[in-house]
Structure 1
């Protein structure tokens, strides 16, 4: 493939494909046909190219650290009305910011004569000076002497305290058993032991002070260099934030510092989408459609499937793209649309104290930031005299199935206690997009929110909350598996991540638009719940079949 610039002409005949009326909504989309074609041509290039070496983890014989990568394509129209596309990658590729055919980074801090490189020399000089002082023999010896002095002081003072304790006990025995004992002599012994302890304490305090001063003479210099380095680093960071400035259709520049109010997250601006749009506006190319896909092995924590399309991240990209896409007509934002409109809540069980509803898929359990229609608001209208929070537990918006409602605060408290003590038993049915290797098992993957891409969850053994799920295969179909999940804990997106993650079943649920591939719905349904009735104490099991 040859091109004199980063504008690449379609290899495939696209003359019969209509242009989209609006630009891609980057945070939730079905890729336009033109974007799919552009992505396939990029993927073909990645499979056949010899321009660089990067271990995506697809070739078991390839050496080096495995790093999967997000790639992006932007379909554009030039001033002559010709359609083409741009390519970009997130972060660095093969340890470089620039590669032929890919748009450049917005600001290349690795450029040979850039201010970053010049400042980096100064910071490295600070590092060398600090390292030299920290490894100087006199400094290391003074640290060792201080530690030895502390240890010896503590040992001898403690020994003297033990002697005083033993002597005190001995003299008490003498006074008790010998009325004619020389009390004056005994008191003198006690005073002398106390005086010796004071002298020893003064001596060791003097020794410790001298040893500490020796260490501090070096520490002051080291800390001063570290503070200077910190200030230099902060100044360099602010310079970088100012240089990372992004264009929009009006060629208005806005820096990372301005966009994130001086505190952008690490890696902001290095994703594919901002690079693509910046280059397009810089070169007077009109954005038509965009898509991003993952290439390579999944990261350890996230769920990323090779070759699959993904939306732009919310934490890093949303603030930047909000500026860059100013006044560009976008496809409808699904997060502002009510997914529950026209859907009904079916009552499966009800008495004077509680109710169980069958929640449809794509129906909020509680009001969201932009959409208020939910199980809670519907039930609140249905039971205007009910007290308490009503909702005992939640289901993900995309998950259908049984949800338990308490009609009074007392009943709510009782049912919540059953959940907390894990006395409530729930069973979910799911259709998996693939065939897991085993037929049953336990999944134990701790989860936490992806701070850069809410509401997605990631597996995190350091900060994640415990999440356990029992599972068993019900039926194997042609490349699909019907499965039962029995969640032990109830973390956000627990079943979805446990199914899709490569350390879990490595088989996403059919229709999972976050961790798998979008379909008509998420094929996950809470089909059974067992609990103790708060009033009658009867064990109730409510079941409703899935509609898939």
Structure 2
């Protein structure tokens, strides 16, 4: 059982402990923290606490993390669209609607299930739930992902992400007409206090996030853009475009209810992926065409322009 300790300062006075802990650790939702407290896994100054405990500066909090229940992740035969593969890396075009890796309550039909059937040699750095997974894209985002087939490749690709040398370009349709041709959003992203399942631009418990964008086409009330990630935060493009007033079309979490029809989920496609090969040191770049439903929406917008 792993333990995590926190020493509270004056910024946490008189706040409920579940709120404090979910703010200190962005991986925990408030309901998860409350369950940990109810199960007796949270100690304040050495004693078991309750969810309504009001914290004071100087409190010493210890969180005991119970062992995670290992789930059986089974190979599933899928018709994966593989763009590149060798003994070290694999590049796959994930369709919209597919989850990248299994999670409790969602253990089948994921990209990992399909990868395990396609090849048995995947890196083990991220454990049994995420073999080979170096980075993710959202379930309703389509596009290219790089997968590590051994730990050497995994460490190299992760370091490239840290060094911001991986090329990641996305195509998106956003609400509104962006008047300028180019732009950069440099705004920190963290958990939304009001909705722990969402991200937002905030200075509190946030991470540096930068998105560059350029306008490809303008329509009556929408704009077709290309976004390039400098950092890779959760929901980054979706959050940043909403922040500047141009939320993604079809986005059920960050966009308006009245939106484009004909596409299930946000109009976002990871179309270009480039990286240095971990072994050969050659720069590789791949481009995946837009999904058919994305193209059809664009055609409809062009005809009504």
Q: Which residue of 1 aligns with 2:51?
A: 263
Cα separation, 2, equivalents of 1:488 and 1:481? 21
Cα separation, 2, equivalents of 1:478 and 1:456? 29
Q: Which residue of 2 aligns with 1:97?
A: none
Kindly tell me: are residues 354 and 439 of structure 1, through their superposed partners in 2, closer, same or farther at Cα, counting changes over 3 Å? Answer: same
Question: Matched residue of 1:456: which SS?
Answer: strand
Cα separation, 1, equivalents of 2:160 and 2:238? 24
Give yes or no for contact 2:201–2:240 (8 Å, CA) kept in 1. no
Q: Are 1:514 and 2:253 counterparts?
A: yes
**Greater share of helix:** 1
Cα separation, 2, equivalents of 1:384 and 1:481? 42
Q: Which residue of 2 aligns with 1:434?
A: 176
Cα separation, 1, equivalents of 2:52 and 2:77? 41
Give yes or no for contact 1:344–1:360 (8 Å, CA) kept in 2. no
> 4+ runs of 1 displaced by more than 2 Å?
260-266, 341-345, 385-389, 517-521
Cα separation, 1, equivalents of 2:152 and 2:276? 14
**TM-score, L = length of structure 2:** 0.65
Give yes or no for contact 1:509–1:523 (8 Å, CA) kept in 2. yes
**Greater share of strand:** 2
Q: 2:115 aligns with which of 358, 361, 379?
A: 379
Gaps of 5+ in 1: 1-229, 235-256, 267-340
Q: Which residue of 2 aligns with 1:546?
A: 290
1:421-450 Cα deviation digits (max 9, x unpaired): 111111001011221232211101111112
Deviation at 1:392, TM superposition (A): 1.4
What are the within-5 Å matches in structure 2 for residues 134-533 of structure 1?
A: 263=51, 344-373=79-108, 374-388=110-124, 389-501=131-243, 504=244, 506-517=245-256, 520-533=264-277
1:13-69 Cα deviation digits (max 9, x unpaired): xxxxxxxxxxxxxxxxxxxxxxxxxxxxxxxxxxxxxxxxxxxxxxxxxxxxxxxxx
Kindly tell me: are residues 521 and 265 of structure 1, through their superposed partners in 2, closer, same or farther at Cα, counting changes over 3 Å? Answer: farther
Give yes or no for contact 2:190–2:204 (8 Å, CA) kept in 1. no
Gaps of 5+ in 2: 1-13, 17-33, 39-49, 55-75, 125-130, 295-305
Deviation at 1:525, TM superposition (A): 0.6
Greater gyration radius:
1
Cα separation, 1, equivalents of 2:77 and 2:267? 20
| CA RMSD between the two structures | 2.6
1:269-304 Cα deviation digits (max 9, x unpaired): xxxxxxxxxxxxxxxxxxxxxxxxxxxxxxxxxxxx
